[in-house]
Amino acid sequence: MQLPYNKSATLLKLILYTDQDFMYRFDPMAIHDGPKSGEGSVTSSRGADGAARLSTTADYHRFTPVDLMSEFTICESFSGPGSPYGIILEKPSSYGAMVGDFLVRMGLLKDRATVCEVGGGYGSLMHGLLGSHENRIERVYMIDLSLSLLKRQRDRLSPWKSRITSIRGDIHELLGAVAGVDLFIVNEVMGDLDTLTGIDPSHMPPEAEELIRAYDLDIPAVPFNLNIGAIRLVEALCRTGIPALLTEHSSDPVIPDDMAYLARDLDLDAYPREIKLFRHSEYTIRFSHLVKVARAHGRTARTGALLDLIPVRKGKNLETIFRLRACDTEDHEIIYELLDHIREYRWLVIS
Ligand SMILES: C[S@@+](CC[C@H](N)C(=O)[O-])C[C@H]1O[C@@H](n2cnc3c(N)ncnc32)[C@H](O)[C@@H]1O
């Protein structure tokens, strides 16, 4: 993997770990101080002047100890075979193992692969993936903006320490320099990337206008939010020519054919909306925009519901719980909550 020694990346702080504890630290430019207390992200909505705003979580991830349990990520919901949400599954499994099975089915996990996960959180996905498919994976790069999360990933992945390289940096600044990787995994990260919010369709900021024109992106007639960070990420992934799996909370969900009941009260063609979290906001992702971007770059884009890769129990039980909101036991409540959440998630494979 090449590293961006010569990049003019501002605010880039890169720390490289290998199988020794601490090997390399790289600060190409001065790093600004952390945010003042109470600041974590610039948040959203239209400014008082009616202009679009940029929502970014970069400072939040750089400077705040991140608590993923409060974010209810799907990955942490299935962090191990014994997770409470596992009652919804056909057989106990971890999210990472299910992702691995999906990658094999999609022909994306070659033998002796080098895999790069961006934004690996607590390391649970990679733990499950290596635990179930370790013979296929020779080398792993973990890229993350958060130093505390990188450390947590290293602890979680300690059984495979010699295969792991951890890199601290912003994916937007690093991706152009990555080579020698067979597969990227970007799980529930895109919603954290920059979003232009409150865009007036008749007075669009130049960056939004440029992207919308370049990729012929549909927009509504009313003020809207645009996932510029996710779009730029997909552009950069496409330029690498390396296959990628991306998942996220979507604004335009797709519902599996055999679970049509999950579409109840759901807008299947909406634009990104804000999700307020602890000291930062995320935005749902309009996957149809990303598909257009990938195809415009000549790449194959396949997409579907995240439930495609999570084998849930068959039978009428789940449907009954969801339709009737029949939550008369704790298990029912867990199932209802998870179905209601997961139905909006999608995957995108670029190859
Ligand atoms: C919502 S968490 C998801 C964690 C994990 N993938 C999961 O599904 O549980 C987002 C992750 O992306 C990282 N992240 C956010 N913005 C990033 C960026 N610009 N570059 C690299 N990592 C980033 C965060 O530090 C965190 O690890």
Taking the chain (351 residues) in consecutive chunks of 10 residues, what is each chunk's mean pLDDT?
A: 40 45 35 39 53 89 76 88 90 96 97 97 97 97 94 97 95 86 98 97 96 98 98 96 97 96 96 91 97 98 97 88 85 92 97 98
Ligand 1 centroid from CA 295, angstroms: 25
247 lines ligand 1 (CB under 6 A): no
Residue 25 phi/psi, 5° resolution?
-135, 135
Output the pLDDT for position 148: 92
147 lines ligand 1 (CB under 6 A): no
Output the pLDDT for position 165: 96
175 three-class SS: helix
Whether 343 contacts 255, CB under 8 Å: yes
Whether 250 contacts 345, CB under 8 Å: yes
- Residue 321 identity (one-letter amino acid): I
Contacts of 283 (CB under 8 A, 6+ apart): 44, 55, 191, 195, 197, 225, 227, 272, 273, 274, 275
245 lines ligand 1 (CB under 6 A): no
145 lines ligand 1 (CB under 6 A): yes
Output the pLDDT for position 16: 54
171 lines ligand 1 (CB under 6 A): yes
Atom of ligand 1 nearest to the CA of 229: 19
Ligand 1 centroid from CA 326, angstroms: 34
121 lines ligand 1 (CB under 6 A): yes
Instruction: Mark 6-41 as b/e (b = at least 16 C-beta within 10 Å).
Output: ebebeebbbbbbeeeeeeeeeebeeeeeebeeeebb
68 lines ligand 1 (CB under 6 A): yes
The DSSP secondary-structure symbol of 114 reads: E
Alpha-helix residue ranges (DSSP H) falling in 117-264: 124-133, 147-156, 171-174, 206-215, 228-240
187 lines ligand 1 (CB under 6 A): yes
344 lines ligand 1 (CB under 6 A): no
Atom 10, ligand 1: which residue's CA is nearest?
Answer: 189
Atom 22, ligand 1: which residue's CA is nearest?
Answer: 144
If residue 340 lies in a helix (H) or strand (E), which one and from where to where? helix 330-342
Strand partners, 5: none
Residue 252 CA to its chain's centroid (Å): 16
Domains and CATH numbers, the chain: 40-350 (3.40.50.150)
Quick one: 278 exposed, middle or buried, by C-beta within 10 A (0-12, 13-18, 19+)? Answer: exposed
Atom of ligand 1 nearest to the CA of 66: 25
Whether 198 contacts 45, CB under 8 Å: yes
Quick one: 198 exposed, middle or buried, by C-beta within 10 A (0-12, 13-18, 19+)? Answer: middle
If residue 97 lies in a helix (H) or strand (E), which one and from where to where? helix 95-105
Q: Look up the pTM and report it.
A: 0.89
Output the pLDDT for position 41: 45
Nearest alpha-carbon partner for 307 in 337, 351, 338, 282: 338
Ligand 1 centroid from CA 313, angstroms: 29
208 lines ligand 1 (CB under 6 A): no
The DSSP secondary-structure symbol of 187 reads: E
